[in-house]
Structure 1
Amino acid sequence: MRFYPEGLLYHQPENKLGISTPFQLKESMASQKILESKAILCDSQHNLVVQLGCMKGFIPREEGAIGIGEGTTKDIALISKVNKPVCFVVTGFQEQNGETIALLSRRKAQQICYREYINQLAPGDIIPAVVTHLEPFGCFVDIGCGIPSLIPIDAISVSRISHPKDRFWVGQEIRTIVRSLDENGRVFLSHKELLGTWEQNVSQFHAGETVGGIVRSIESYGIFVELTPNLAGLAEYKEGVQAGQNASIYIKSLIPEKMKIKLIIVDAFDAPPTKPEVQYFIDEGHIDHWCYSPDCCSRMIETNFQFPLEE
């Protein structure tokens, strides 16, 4: 069974078939198949009503997510699902006001996801995720069946950003890498290792070229400009330049042994926000070790997934 972040199963043909008729729902119940459909209502007791293909479904509050019954998950996790696809397994049927209602459990779908997918993950595994919300300290993602995890802001990219919104948007499908797991089933993620090494990024540029960049910070000794999410250089100070502006950048020199790029800002200007696609140098499989630094550089930036840091 493949486990999707919520919303990605919704339009799949096998999902549409699974909710299409009462017979298919009963077949799905017998096999404990995970399905998705849109929640149309959260009532005053925080039970979710789901519109299936052939009838309505009902997710009791305690079945809305792992931790709701115990109080470790807040009810906002249910309220916020209205008008969005939710995952579930069918647990039964009941008659209500002359119509048949399917009884559903999102909690059990999440338990299956933990047992058959998340608990099998190891540090260094590359997995898909969907961005659910952004906070100043990091990016929350759904790694399967609505189960949340966090990418800390300093693990998003090598080039520093002031807020995760500089890199991601809600609903975006991304790739992440498992940094570590704890005994409570929490998964800690990273992202920067998938965006390439210094050499891989710098190979796209050459001294003497003028290219586009984004101003990231203004310092007394110069201005840091991002060329790619994992590559930034230092430009000479220029009056009137502000963080967040787009810029035309002249590449003065590339210095691998110091892992530095010297730049000159030709022009800096405000531009409408965009949603650029992430360029991954690796987007599937598993890695044990990642080294950002060139071999000729004494300064080491690396991640060893075989010996993950304790969270």
Structure 2
Amino acid sequence: MCAKATMEEFEALLNESLEIDTPDEGSVVKGRVIAIEAGQAIIDVGYKMEGRVDLKEFANPGEESNISVGDEVEVYLDRVENARGEASISREKARREEAWDRLEKAYGAEERVEGAIFGRVKGGFTVDLGGAVAFLPGSQVDVRPVRDAGPLMGLKQPFQILKMDRRRGNIVVSRRAILEESRAEQRAEVIANLTEGQTVDGVVKNITEYGAFVDLGGVDGLLHVTDMAWRRVNHPSEILSIGETVKVQVIKINKDSHRISLGMKQLQADPWDTVADKFPIGSVHQGRVTNITDYGAFVELEPGVEGLVHVSEMSWTKKNVHPGKIVSTSQEVEVMVLDVDPVKRRVSLGLKQCLSNPWDSFAANYPAG
């Protein structure tokens, strides 16, 4: 009777043990570290199964493993039993599965993910996203080309997922998108604090033929060559240099395109305000030839004020002659003010009026008859 009861109990226990669901191969299971030996962690994953995992699989790229006996970990079950009669498990694959689940949610929600650049490959870098490895193209590292990526290696920082394919195991991320977004926010904040007519300090960032770009603290403004000085400026490099701090006035702000127009001459007195008083009609002045055209020559009377000597006002005797045959650039000449229009910012000058008219002396020396 007793033996019969014992057999029944054994059969019940056997059935109970068979009813216990063993984990599926290819799934993530929980386990406990029961020993560490020969560079491996022995992990009890339950169901009377143990497996071994290299310690390096518990470490992040560039870091040491900090796993110890008694720790609970999640591992990936490759096979229930391998050739050694142990469970074939992997912490690295478990981390990858966890990471992919997390990253797919972030990608769907267009959220940033945290990672660290840990290697260099052809065309870019590898990034550890907490278990999954992503590719960072060289063009997506920064808003400008990066010559030395050393300071960025191993640094925890945010990335934006551009595309991912779990079946192929491909993830492409961008650091540049994060920086551009931050710059856009900073730019919007700076622009919101600027007003037209405001005077601000800026640093010359770049110089071109048509002007200079000035950094106003997170946003660039264009200082056009015509707004640098009241006088004629042939090239911005004549008065500016890269890295120089300048005081400028905000002339115009386009809120939609975030474009800012700047000026320097607006902070100085406009010389045209006093032209009529300084250069009355009929007065004679010394000037410098600044530009020669087919129809005449421009003469600078003072910085910021130029007048035109029309070709017809250059010589009493030379007709249909190019102005360049009579005067040359940078030549000092004496001119007479013939007309002044401060509104249109025009001064008409005469060169021949400062010379005696040969026709008058001819008429005096050679009377009719």
TM range (shorter): 0.3 to 0.5
User: Which structure carries more helix by proportion?
Assistant: 2
| TM-score, scaled to structure 1 | 0.41
Of structures 1 and 2, the one scoring higher in RCO (CA 8 A, sep 6+) is: 1
State which structure, 1 or 2, has the greater radius of gyration over its C-alpha atoms.
2
